[in-house]
Structure 1
């Protein structure tokens, strides 16, 4: 496990710029959740022609927005903090 301190600013940049592929989750060491983001993104893009892509896209966008709010706590937890 990577024990280097995580940078909150970098986590925000990754979430905003590459959030749909879960880059911020991989950065914080959450590999399982990091895989969920690109899977949902690809599923949304693949199912867009049938008109249901917005469901998967909406889920991944909602997850990214929630992560924007939760990032300070997620960074603290990745650094070994209690909160």
Structure 2
């Protein structure tokens, strides 16, 4: 029997644990809510493709977190004259 490719959150967490990925239902729900793991909502059920979960777990986009924009316009700490 072929493994299911579209699963609910509970089924996905169980498959992750079988595959050696320690992912909790809470973590998976956060990833879904943030948009890191795309899914479909049918009624009150979230349906998740296994390929999307693997892409998220293996960081297939090359980065774990979204890049932070660093403002390079500042020169660091500026000197402040203290009145004596």
> If the length of structure 2 is used for normalisation, what is the TM-score?
0.26
Structure of higher CA gyration radius: 2
Structure with greater proportional strand content? 2
Structure with greater proportional helix content? 1
Higher RCO, 1 or 2 (CA under 8 Å, sep at least 6)?
1
